[in-house]
Amino acid sequence: MKKEEISPYTIVIENFQQNIKYDGSQILAHYTAEKHGVLGNSILLFRGNMELSPKEMVDIKDVIRESHMAEVLISSDDALHIIIEEFDIQPPNLEIVYYRLRILAQLIIEQLQLKGVEVAREGTDLFINEKKLNVGIATISQTSCKIHFGLNYLVTGIPSHVNAIGLKELGFMEQNLEEWLLTVAKNYIKEISKIKNDIVKTKPV
């Protein structure tokens, strides 16, 4: 595990050679504080499988729409995960955190385009050749805003009703995954910081 401080965030990078299952607990409030001793805004990066049953999901629409299709609605044998927790919006605002989730999605699209990958976006879902690449959700606790963005690396273990694609099919090499995801995290911090600077420099009317 490594940490990188880029004010006002701490990026925590788990060992990408170690499988860490995303089971929904990572999107709970203060997860990175309790797991890694990081207080304040944080971005947690890790790699591993994921498996969520309907009762563990926070996306009510997906539960209603897909719960009849499978007992496990979100799963993958191998994915990259971004968990963001932010305390700068008080009280936590679900609308604003969804805007931030879309910023994150767009930044990932830009990084994919640099590799020549054409991406279509529907909300926060990314599609390549009509195949889904990711899952993404935002939520709030009493004190913080939280985001989870998961990108398939492999397409095995994904529910049969999902037409999916993975980063491996797009030419991503395992040895470059950590660096690529860290670039996404740094670009996100830069984008949020620019918004903060725009607020500071702008005179009210």
Q: What is the 3-state secondary structure (H, E, C) of 47-102?
A: EEEEEECHHHCCCHHHHHHHCCCCCCCEEEEEEEEEEEEECCCCCCCHHHHHHHHH
Q: CA 152 to CA 154: how far, in whole Å?
A: 6
Alpha-carbon dihedral angle through residues 55, 59, 65, 66, given to the nearest 10 degrees: -50
Residue 22: which domain range? 2-201
At residue 204 the predicted structure's pLDDT band, cuts being 50, 70 and 90, is: confident
Q: Residue 144 above 80 pLDDT?
A: yes
pLDDT digits (tens, 9 = 90+) for 94-129: 999 999 999 999 999 999 999 999 999 999 999 999
**The pLDDT value given to residue 63:** 44
Shortest CA distance to 16 belongs to which of 151, 194, 200, 192?
151
pLDDT digits (tens, 9 = 90+) for 63-85: 435 455 555 578 999 999 999 99
| pTM attached to this predicted model | 0.90
Shortest CA distance to 140 belongs to which of 105, 99, 109, 194?
99
pLDDT digits (tens, 9 = 90+) for 28-46: 999 999 999 999 999 999 9
At residue 56 the predicted structure's pLDDT band, cuts being 50, 70 and 90, is: low
User: What value does the mean pLDDT take over residues 121-143?
Assistant: 96
For the record, the structure tokens of 51 come out as 């498996």
**The pLDDT value given to residue 64:** 39
At residue 52 the predicted structure's pLDDT band, cuts being 50, 70 and 90, is: confident
For the record, the structure tokens of 156 come out as 């095995």
Check which CATH number belongs to the domain holding 189 and give it.
Answer: 3.30.930.10
Domain total in the chain: 1
- Residue found by looking up tokens 């909300």 in the block: 123
